[in-house]
């Protein structure tokens, strides 16, 4: 499993996964600061 320029999944899918992971982390960090 590799992140970056899509890895073995193709450019679009890999970037989508990376963005989703970063977005989830952003929500978690935001919630931690709020509470």
Residues lower than pLDDT 70 in the chain: 1-15
What's the confidence (pLDDT) of residue 10?
A: 52
> What's the 3-state SS for 1-35?
CCCCCCCCCCHHHHHHHHHHHHHHHHHHHHHHHHC
What's the confidence (pLDDT) of residue 2?
A: 46
Asked if 7 and 1 count as a contact pair (C-beta separation under 8 A), the reply is yes
Domain ranges in the chain are 1-35
Instruction: Output the pTM of the full model.
Output: 0.51
């Amino acid at each position: 499993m590799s992140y970056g320029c899509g890895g073995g999944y193709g450019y679009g899918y890999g970037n989508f996964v990376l963005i989703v992971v970063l977005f989830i982390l952003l929500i978690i960090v935001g919630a931690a600061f709020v509470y």
